[in-house]
Structure 1
Amino acid sequence: MNTCSKIPKYYWRCSRPLENRQREQQAEAQQTVLKERTNDIFNSPHDGVIGNPDASVTVVEFFDYNCGFCKRAMSDMQALLEENDDVRFVLKEFPILSAESREAHVVSAALHAVAPDKYAEFHQKLMGSDARADGELAISIASELGIDETALRKEMENPNIQKTFAETYELANQLAVTGTPAYVVGNEVVFGALGKDVLSDKIEQARKQSN
């Protein structure tokens, strides 16, 4: 699976029927969460949005700025948005790989609060950087975009940022998301950087479900 994760994985020898049942139980639990926490997943005011804000189809991505697979998947997002004017990506700040990742995501969340119109450009510049993402790099990119550093640093101290991270971790746990990238498309949770074609198929399925 093409995901980055620092969450430990444990393996058991299981019979195939037991494995199948476990997958069924996970899918059932995910469907319950998708129904009960629809607004938290698709419409949280704390999440950045790239694409048409009034789109008929939403792709939710859990990402970490230092995830190599997330970096590769960004081109998939860009291509899909170019081809679909009725798709939006909702980006869940999910720093799980390192302390540097958390620093970068704090800046990202603060920037979304003080200058949401700059978020998409900031996200793509930071995710597209070859350098390791941390707080210093994130602030540097924000400054290049004309963001007031004093206002940004003040917002970085807002306790709501850490609260939002905790809520995202809880949501990810409920959806069995243990690595990045992970997506929610329609009523399906998709794990890994599966490529543009797979995501495009998932988007079409979600579009049919919504009609």
Structure 2
Amino acid sequence: MPTRRALLSLAGAAAVLPLAGLAQDRPNPMPEDLRRALERDRTAPVLGNPQGNVTLTEFFDYNCGHCRTMLPRISELVRSDPQLRVVYREWPVFGPGSDFAARASLAALPTGKYWQFHAGLLGLRGRVEQASVMRVAREVGLDEEALRTGMEGADIERHITMSHMLAEHMGLAGTPTFICGDEAVFGAMTIAELRALVARGRATMGTAS
């Protein structure tokens, strides 16, 4: 079973950002500045309804086998829940190949081909490395030279640095980690478990389904 824990029980979260006032109607509310960093970072890819009434954040790595398993389940969840907003946090923890893939995928975001590229990378067999990343880039019609230039952008560095900071200070165990409401879940999940997590997130935030 996945490991569940309330976010505010994780040591060091306050070191990430100066914290705003806490909500008073929940026993362990997430600080609002931390929630904004997780859910509203302009550098983070968003799937589903951008104006949805609940946000599910996933920390993932392209060399994470369970992250690959979760791709079709997340897609199914989004299709079945028109009010769901999914935020992806690229968190490359499995070496240089993962870091290269994360930077390349974020560089593809302005081209409109992020999702094709994202799915292609998670669909690779074996380890994701520089050569396989660029092969997938060509397959989905990305300009390799432009992609390499884009990978050096300040927003990409900011996104990856913030992912590491957030993960470290919340004490995340690894990828994939899903965060919704005031709860984090580590590990692969079934569709039923994902839906239950989102339902608890909606209940926590007081939003309708």
Distance 1:60 1:189 in 2: 9
Q: Say what the alpha-carbon RMSD is for the aligned residues.
A: 2.7
Taking structure 1 as the reference length, the TM-score comes to 0.80
Question: Is the Cα–Cα contact under 8 Å of residues 48 and 120 in structure 1 kept in the other structure?
Answer: no
Change (3 A) 1:181 1:107: same
Residue in structure 1 matched with residue 19 of structure 2 by the alignment: none
Quick one: which of 162, 173, 179 aligns to 2:157? 162
SS at match of 2:178: strand
Which residue matches 2:25?
none
Hey, what does 1:6 align to over in structure 2? none
For the Cα contact (< 8 Å) 1:102–1:134, is it kept in 2?
A: no
* Number of aligned residues: 192
Q: Which residue does the alignment assign to 2:73?
A: 76
Deviation at 1:33, TM superposition (A): 5.4
From 182, 186, 190, the equivalent of 1:191 is 186
Shift of 1:184: 0.9
CA distance in 2, matches of 1:33, 1:41: 11
The answer to whether the aligner puts 1:26 opposite 2:3 as a matched pair is: no
TM-score by structure 2 length? 0.81
AA partner of residue 64 (structure 2): C
Matched, 1:145 2:140: yes
Higher helix share: 1
User: Do residues 100 (structure 1) and 97 (structure 2) align?
Assistant: yes
Structure 2: gaps (5+ residues):
15-27
Describe the superposition over 1:24-52 as per-residue Cα deviations: whole angstroms up to 9, x where unpaired.
84389585654222221101111111212
User: Hey, what's the Cα distance between the residues in 2 that align with 1:149 and 1:28?
Assistant: 40
| Structure 1 residue 186, shift from structure 2 partner | 1.5
Output the CA distance in 2 between the equivalents of 1:190 and 1:170: 18
- Alignment deviations for residues 149-208 of structure 1 (CA, whole Å, 9 cap, x no partner): 222111112244233212111111122113000011122111111221111011112223
For 2:201 and 2:187, locate their aligned partners in 1 and report how far apart those are by CA, in whole Å: 18
CA shift in 2, pair 1:157/1:29, >3 Å: closer
Distance 2:11 2:38 in 1: 16
Distance 1:57 1:111, change over 3 A: same
Of 129, 132, 137, which residue of structure 2 is paired with 1:134?
129
Question: What residue number does 1:109 align with?
Answer: 106
Q: What is the identity percentage for the equivalent residue pairs of Structure 1 and Structure 2?
A: 31
**2:108 partner SS:** helix
Cα distance in 2, alignment partners of residues 200 and 206 from structure 1? 10
SS at match of 1:189: strand
Matched, 1:178 2:173: yes
Query: Any conservation in 1 of the 2:8–2:30 contact (CA below 8 Å)?
Result: no
Contact 1:107 1:135 in 2 (8 A): no
Work out whether residues 65 and 133 of structure 1, in 8 Å CA contact, stay in contact via their aligned partners in 2.
yes
Conserved? CA contact 1:126–1:133, under 8 Å:
yes
The superposition leaves residues 64-122 of structure 1 with CA deviations (integer Å, 9 ceiling, x where unpaired) of: 0000111111122011112111112111010001111111111112112x31x211221
Which stretches of structure 1, 4 residues or longer, exceed 6 Å deviation after superposition? none
1:52 aligns with 2:49: yes
